[in-house]
């Protein structure tokens, strides 16, 4: 786990800070435009249209870091990876590995409960073209740092995609734990030593990756199976 100096604050304060953030004018304009215009299939929905806080078990040993909310998924629902094709791939995999109580995620009141995993992202607002710029990621980094302060049991960090992987390594450097030069690849597994969590990596479960076969169900299951075995060896099942 990563030990940080200073007060850890509270989850309620963090969630309020995330949901009230307006630091990035481009993202504020875009998330609100999407929420107003909507997609035809969701014309009767009231979109969330705000930054999306993290979601999951606050005693988790696994921290999962994605990229950003989807325009008509998390930006509509208000919960990470919910309501879009990425979540339709991720949550069933979490369920098969025992990290979720059900395979399907449709809205904030669907009964989804995560066990031993917490899900967050680099950017908390939907970016145009699914591409947050460096300044926007930097603006969101304090939220990720605060989550790390509060998540005191994390043993493994899973980065979904190269941007999450590289940004997490920059965060470690800022926290005074500069890692060696590491390369992102699917299935990467790095023991960073000391009290740092293991860093694992996986292709992002985006439609672009799953429909092209770059990421298959079996590949995703293999990642979570290895994580589950490692956590079991560190202290049993939860």
CATH fold for the domain made of 11-235? Uracil-DNA Glycosylase, subunit E (3.40.470)
Mean pLDDT of 172-176: 90
Mean pLDDT of 44-55: 97
pLDDT band at residue 187, thresholds of 50, 70 and 90?
Answer: very high
The residue among 45 and 237 whose pLDDT is bigger is 45
Structure confidence at residue 2 (pLDDT): 52
Structure confidence at residue 8 (pLDDT): 57
Q: Report the alpha-carbon distance of residue 121 to residue 136 in Å, rounded.
A: 12
pLDDT band at residue 6, thresholds of 50, 70 and 90?
Answer: very low
Mean pLDDT of 190-194: 92
In the predicted model, is pLDDT for residue 55 greater than 60? yes
Is pTM beyond 0.85? Reply is: yes
pLDDT over 90, % of the chain: 88
pLDDT over 70, % of the chain: 95
Give the chain's radius of gyration (CA, Å).
17
Computed over every residue of the chain, the mean pLDDT equals: 94
In the predicted model, is pLDDT for residue 160 greater than 90? yes
SS (H, E, C) the chain: CCCCCCCCCCHHHHHHHHHCCCCCHHHHHHHHHHHHHCCHHHCCCCCCCCCCCCEECCCCCEEEEECCCCCCCHHHHCCCCCCCHHHHHHHHHHHHCCCECCCCCCCCCCCCCECCEEEEECCCCCCHHHCCCHHHHHHHHHHHHHHHHHCCCCCEEEEECHHHHHHHHHHHHHCCCCCCCCCCCCCCEECCCCCCCEEEEECCCCHHHHHCCCCCHHHHHHHHHHHHHHHHHHHCCC
Structure confidence at residue 233 (pLDDT): 87
Residue-wise pLDDT tens digits, 94-152: 999 999 999 999 999 999 999 999 999 999 999 999 999 999 999 999 999 999 999 99
């Amino acid at each position: 786990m990563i030990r940080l100096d200073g007060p850890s604050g509270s989850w309620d304060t963090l969630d309020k800070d995330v949901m009230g953030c307006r630091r990035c004018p481009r993202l504020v304009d875009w998330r609100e435009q999407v929420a107003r215009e909507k997609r035809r299939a969701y014309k009767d929905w009231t979109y969330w249209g705000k930054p999306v806080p993290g979601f999951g078990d606050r005693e988790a040993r696994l921290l999962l870091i994605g990229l950003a909310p989807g325009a008509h998924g998390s930006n509509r629902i208000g919960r990470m990876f919910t309501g879009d094709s990425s979540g339709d791939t991720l949550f069933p995999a979490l369920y098969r590995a025992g990290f979720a109580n059900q395979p399907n995620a449709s809205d904030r009141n669907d009964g989804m409960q995560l066990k031993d995993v917490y899900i967050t992202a680099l950017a908390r607002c939907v970016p145009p073209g699914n591409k947050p710029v460096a300044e926007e990621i930097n603006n969101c980094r304090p939220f990720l740092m605060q989550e790390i302060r509060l998540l005191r049991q994390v043993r493994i960090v899973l980065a979904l995609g190269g941007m999450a992987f590289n940004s997490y390594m920059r965060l470690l450097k800022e926290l005074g734990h500069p890692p060696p030069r590491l390369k992102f690849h699917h299935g990467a597994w790095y023991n960073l030593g000391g009290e740092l969590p293991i860093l694992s990596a996986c292709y992002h479960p985006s439609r672009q990756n799953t429909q092209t076969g770059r990421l298959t169900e079996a590949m995703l299951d293999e990642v979570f199976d290895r994580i589950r075995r490692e956590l079991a060896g560190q202290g049993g099942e939860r």
